[in-house]
Structures are given as C-alpha cells and as structure tokens.
Amino acid sequence: MRIDAYNKISQVYQTNAVQKTMKAAGTKAADQLEISRTAKDCQVAKQAIASTQDIRTDKINDIKSRMESGTYNISMEEVADKILDSYFEKLI
C-alpha cells in the first residue's frame, strides 16, 4: 500500500479537516415529565399500604384471649389444608 495515495484520498474526502457544528436556531425544547394515570394510581396504592400496619393486633388479641380461655378450637383438616395451600402456592 502506498502512503502517498492514502494521503491524497483523505484530502479528497477531507477526512482530516475539522468541521464546526452550528447551533440550531430557534429551538427551545424543554424536558417534560408526564406520569400516567396507572402510575398515579399505583403510587396512591403504595402510600395506602405503607400507612397500614403489618400486624392485625385486634385479631391477634382475640385469638390470644380465646386460647387462654380454652375456647379456641380449630380442626386438623383446616390446618392441613392451609399447609398444603401455602406449599402449592410456593411451587407456582
């Protein structure tokens, strides 16, 4: 390959010349943020969940009092059903 031929080709295509870019005239675009209605609803739902308690103390206190008095009875079939339901939910 001849180097002088490469230099001539680059001069033809002006690959060595630095070209200045011009500013676009009259463009005044501003960034905008638009939140969809679904996103707003999701945000409201998240705030509602965050404000609620994780533990339902009224239900826990009711069960504790029934256990202490001896009136809290559940069947073993119900316990087995709940265990199996939670097991199969984990598999899915």
Residue 15 pLDDT greater than 70, yes or no:
no
On whether residue 89 sits in a domain, the answer given is: yes
- Per-residue pLDDT, 81: 94
Residue 64 pLDDT greater than 70, yes or no:
yes
The letter for the amino acid at 4 is: D
On whether residue 80 sits in a domain, the answer given is: yes
- Per-residue pLDDT, 28: 73
Mean pLDDT for the stretch of residues 50-79: 90
- Per-residue pLDDT, 40: 94
On whether residue 85 sits in a domain, the answer given is: yes
Banded pLDDT at 6 (limits 50, 70, 90): low
On whether residue 23 sits in a domain, the answer given is: no
Share of the chain above pLDDT 90, in %: 40
On whether residue 37 sits in a domain, the answer given is: no
On whether residue 92 sits in a domain, the answer given is: yes
Which positions ≥6 away from 72 have C-beta within 8 Å? 63, 66
Q: What angle do CA 30, 31, 33 make, to 5 degrees?
A: 140
On whether residue 83 sits in a domain, the answer given is: yes
On whether residue 76 sits in a domain, the answer given is: yes
| Structural domain span for residue 60 | 55-92
